[in-house]
Amino acid sequence: MPSRTIKYLFIGLISLTIGTYVRLHPLLSYSSDDSSEKATIIVLTKLREVANLQTEKQNPFLEKTQRDILAKNLFNELIKKEKNNINITINKLKMELEKNRPQKSQTPYLLEADPFYYYGLTENILTTGHLGSKVQGGKFLNDLMLAPLGHWVPLTLHPYIGIFIYKTIQFFYPSISLMHAVSFTPLLISGLSLIPFLLLLFLLNIRPTVAFTGSIFYLLSPIFLKRSLYGWYDNDPYNLFFPLTILCLFFYAFQHLKENKKMITFIILMSLAITLYAHFWQGWMFLFCILSASIIGAFILQRIFLKKFLLTFKETGLSLVIFLTTSFLTISIAFGVKDFFILFAEGWAALKNFLTPQLSVWPDIFISVGELHEASLGTIIELTGGFLFFSFILLGVFKNILDIFLTIKTKSEPNVQNFFMPLTMVLLFLTLLVLSLGAQRFILLCLIPFSILFPVGLDKTLCFFENILLQFKNKKIHYIFFALSLSVLLLSLIPFSSIRSQINTLVTNIYNDAWDNTMREIKTKTPSESIIATWWPPGHFITSMAKRRVIFDGGTINVPQGYWLANFFLSQDETEALGILRMLHNSGNQAAEYLETLGFPVSLSVTILKTILPLNRQQAYQKLKTIIPDDIKINHLLSLTHKKPPASYCLLYNEFVERNIQLSFLGNWNFKAIETINKDPQEFKKVPNRHSREYIDFLWQLSGGVKKYSGALPQISKENHTIIFAENIKINLQDMTCTISSNQYGKGIPYSLFYLLSCSCFLR
């Protein structure tokens, strides 16, 4: 029989192969935008024809306009009912079209928007040799973010990993593009994370069959798979690799608790791993706190209940001192002593803001970001592996709690299996579950304890059944044991069946040929010092692909500039809009900040700026003379608002027009009401819970209430010069008049309407 180590190596290779193959899906199933668009149009056109024929057959005597409306409704119903079949048909057709294309694009673009941020940094290193123009402590200055001042961003080693992979692949495949090469980075990191995962299971004496099933559930967990697919050039996979590595070193240190040299060596390695982790994610301090808390908890429990094991008690205290000391030293050496506390404070503040955003005077755009919303327990279970997976996790939690209880009750000597590891895993499970319930962004972190507790619970279940079977003396009992082992292996098929149906929904192709062509246009047709005024979602595209500055992006979403830019887009006066843009492109929000230093509250500062921005410099000076009786201060303020800005451009895109409701929320913000609430403790108590629906309604009320927008309303038919849209909206193309007679939106003339040449319209 092969040794247990050989079995684990074999398990690792098979699991790694499966996990890597599934993660290559975006590359293996890639088709160009052209083929995808053609396939979608063909399938939906055929479906529309079916709806038209069926409606005409069932309602031959109705007027054409009424039949068109019924056909459109039937078409929408068919799309909802046959969504999966339609997607399968489109995928098959686009693959056929792709095979017959004379010129094929080589590889897909990066997934999502954030990977483009790191892609831009990777290009910076290759072209300039550094991340940004300046480095200070644990941060560097990114000149393209928060234009025109730039943004200090935490240092990250992620782009250097991408360069290493690029150079390695380039050695064997010289013509490979940078984007194609770095797209393999998440596959490497997720594969490496399997090593500490299996080492932890090995330490826990988990049988190989259970370890294999656990590995498959871990690697094919929907949330992990989504954030480590080919093309996901983001830092998410490190949030599993490093915590698992640190936990592995942590538990091996406690396995050798009475062997000081080995224990100290593992703790030093653990501190170095935490320091390295700090170069990849700002929230490193969270794991640092959890591990510190688990050692302190173990120390206290031993002191209260296990007094007779004095040596173990002393060694636990020694491990805590060594861990805190070495972590402080290694991070201080890497970033500086001062920056240790700055990084810790900023990481904690960022975590706190994600979970309990404060009632800021400036509008909070975080409420529009899906991954920062609350997550239900059902969502967490679904994204981490399903209810069966979670059931065994709960058994694992119960087993760990039982181990701690029995150790204390029987006064047994505490060790890594019966005390230290169970205590840490329960603490991680509870803390990360609460964290994920507060914000969807942290569900990935839940996989750290979940992936370990699942095989623990499954192994405990097998032991339970085996102990029962051993009570029966049966010659064929070994066949039953074999059947049990086989059933455990068959459980690994469950992730395959679920991922097969989910994989296409996990792939988020936001960047496409249209965006790429737009970025090329910006890069080639605008001066290098230009600033692009647009909403935040395409910010990383512009900074990485067009190499131009933006006002804000996905990494600087919650800044006051969003308020000013919303007012720029909402303005009905070009002079006012240009005045706002001139201020933003000269100094960002520094003018408002300067007025605050002069003693003006934010509400009054905003009012003053809105008054002077549409004016020329002389008019603004005269206006300010009545407010600020100091020429030096007035001239300094005007240098922030009325200086000639660099080349400025405005970018509008279809999705922004379709989903522009954020503008009303930000642009109509009531600063005075917020200041009043913050000053009055009684009023502040009336603010709804920040995780409730009422809180969102409360914020909307501060902006004058929720604005009524329609979705895209498709064209139903055309009669002479009149186009008829859904909801009985009619537009006369000769005089461009519009009328509406709708049960949902009412009757009369819409307040405003966006009419697109693609024959869709939007009401406001």
Centre a 10 Å sphere on the Cβ of residue 426 and count the other Cβ atoms it contains.
Answer: 21
Helix, coil or strand: residue 737 = strand
Residues in contact with 465: Cβ distance below 8 Å, sequence separation at least 6, in sequence order: 484
3-state secondary structure 415-426: CHHHHHHHHHHH
**Sheet (strand 753-756) strand order:** 746-748, 737-742, 729-732, 722-725, 713-719, 760-763, 753-756
Q: Tell me the fold of 513-667.
A: Pyruvate Kinase; Chain: A, domain 1 (3.40.1380)
Does residue 321 have a pLDDT over 60? yes
Q: What is the pLDDT of residue 258?
A: 85
d(CA 233, CA 243) in angstroms, rounded, equals: 19
Does residue 402 have a pLDDT over 80? yes
Does residue 102 have a pLDDT over 60? no
Q: What is the pLDDT of residue 455?
A: 95
Q: Is 113 left (phi over 0), alpha (psi -120 to 50) or beta?
A: alpha
pLDDT tens-digit series, residues 502-536: 888 888 888 988 899 999 999 999 999 999 999 99
**What does DSSP say about strands 722-725 and 746-748: parallel, antiparallel, or unpaired?**
unpaired
Q: In this structure, what token pair is assigned to residue 414?
A: 């505490």
Please say whether the beta carbons of 125 and 160 come within 8 A: yes
Domain with CATH 3.40.1380 in the chain: 513-667
Please say whether the beta carbons of 247 and 46 come within 8 A: no
Centre a 10 Å sphere on the Cβ of residue 430 and count the other Cβ atoms it contains.
Answer: 12
Q: In this structure, what token pair is assigned to residue 183?
A: 């797209």
Question: Please, what is the angle between helix 208-219 and helix 477-490, to 10°?
Answer: 10
End-to-end CA distance of the chain: 72
d(CA 413, CA 393) in angstroms, rounded, equals: 26
Q: In this structure, what token pair is assigned to residue 437?
A: 């319930």
Q: What is the pLDDT of residue 450?
A: 95
Q: What is the pLDDT of residue 32?
A: 63
Mean pLDDT of the chain: 86
Please say whether the beta carbons of 241 and 189 come within 8 A: yes
Q: List the one residue out of 26, 7, 45 whose CA is nearest residue 505.
A: 26
pLDDT tens-digit series, residues 355-375: 555 577 888 776 665 555 677
Please say whether the beta carbons of 242 and 273 come within 8 A: yes
| DSSP class of 228 | T
Outline where 284-386 has alpha helix (H). Answer: 284-305, 310-335, 337-355, 377-384
Helix, coil or strand: residue 620 = helix
Lowest mean pLDDT among 66-75, 91-100, 379-388: 91-100
pLDDT tens-digit series, residues 269-284: 999 999 999 899 877 8
Per DSSP, what are the bridge partners of residue 136? 139
The dihedral built from the CA positions of residue 371, 226, 487 and 457, taken in this order, carries a sign that is: negative
Look-up of token digits 């109705």: 62
The dihedral built from the CA positions of residue 524, 525, 531 and 533, taken in this order, carries a sign that is: negative
Q: Is 644 left (phi over 0), alpha (psi -120 to 50) or beta?
A: beta
Q: Which residue has the higher pLDDT, 691 or 656?
A: 656
Residues in contact with 701: Cβ distance below 8 Å, sequence separation at least 6, in sequence order: none
User: How remote is the C-alpha of 259 from its chain's centroid?
Assistant: 42
Lowest mean pLDDT among 170-174, 231-235, 408-412, 729-733: 729-733
User: Side chain identity at 397, as an amino acid letter?
Assistant: V
Lowest mean pLDDT among 192-206, 465-479, 677-691: 465-479
Q: What is the CA radius of gyration of the chain?
A: 30
Q: List the one residue out of 393, 374, 383 whose CA is nearest residue 502.
A: 383
Kindly report the backbone phi and psi dihedral angles of residue 533, in degrees, each rounded to the nearest multiple of 5, phi listed first: -90, 115
d(CA 678, CA 601) in angstroms, rounded, equals: 12
Q: In this structure, what token pair is assigned to residue 388?
A: 């069966």
Lowest mean pLDDT among 195-204, 446-455, 701-710: 701-710
- The structure's pTM equals 0.85
d(CA 314, CA 330) in angstroms, rounded, equals: 24
The continuous run of DSSP H or E covering 33 comes out as helix 33-58
Helix, coil or strand: residue 687 = coil
Outline where 82-220 has alpha helix (H). Answer: 83-99, 114-128, 158-172, 178-182, 185-203, 208-219
**What does DSSP say about strands 549-550 and 722-725: parallel, antiparallel, or unpaired?**
unpaired
Q: What is the pLDDT of residue 345?
A: 66
Centre a 10 Å sphere on the Cβ of residue 307 and count the other Cβ atoms it contains.
Answer: 10
pLDDT bucket at 349, cuts 50 / 70 / 90: low
pLDDT bucket at 708, cuts 50 / 70 / 90: low
The dihedral built from the CA positions of residue 192, 194, 200 and 203, taken in this order, carries a sign that is: negative
Centre a 10 Å sphere on the Cβ of residue 496 and count the other Cβ atoms it contains.
Answer: 12
| DSSP class of 647 | -
| Most confident listed range (19-23, 75-79, 759-763) | 19-23
Q: What is the pLDDT of residue 424?
A: 93
Does residue 572 have a pLDDT over 90? no
Lowest mean pLDDT among 78-82, 103-107, 322-326, 385-389: 103-107
pLDDT tens-digit series, residues 405-421: 999 988 888 888 889 99
Return the percent helix, strand and coil in the chain, to nearest 5: 65, 5, 30
Q: List the one residue out of 500, 513, 493, 496 whose CA is nearest residue 88.
A: 500
The continuous run of DSSP H or E covering 467 comes out as helix 443-469
pLDDT tens-digit series, residues 424-477: 999 999 999 988 887 777 889 999 999 999 999 999 988 888 877 777 766 677
Q: In this structure, what token pair is assigned to residue 415?
A: 């060790």
Q: Which residue has the higher pLDDT, 402 or 483?
A: 402
Q: Which residue has the higher pLDDT, 49 or 757?
A: 49
Q: What is the mean pLDDT of residues 586-603?
A: 95
Q: What is the pLDDT of residue 12?
A: 94
pLDDT tens-digit series, residues 157-173: 999 999 999 999 999 99
Q: List the one residue out of 5, 26, 3 whose CA is nearest residue 109.
A: 26
pLDDT bucket at 760, cuts 50 / 70 / 90: very low
pLDDT bucket at 154, cuts 50 / 70 / 90: confident
Please say whether the beta carbons of 403 and 426 come within 8 A: no
Q: What is the mean pLDDT of residues 202-226?
A: 94
Residues in contact with 145: Cβ distance below 8 Å, sequence separation at least 6, in sequence order: 151, 153, 539, 543, 549, 550, 552, 553, 555, 556
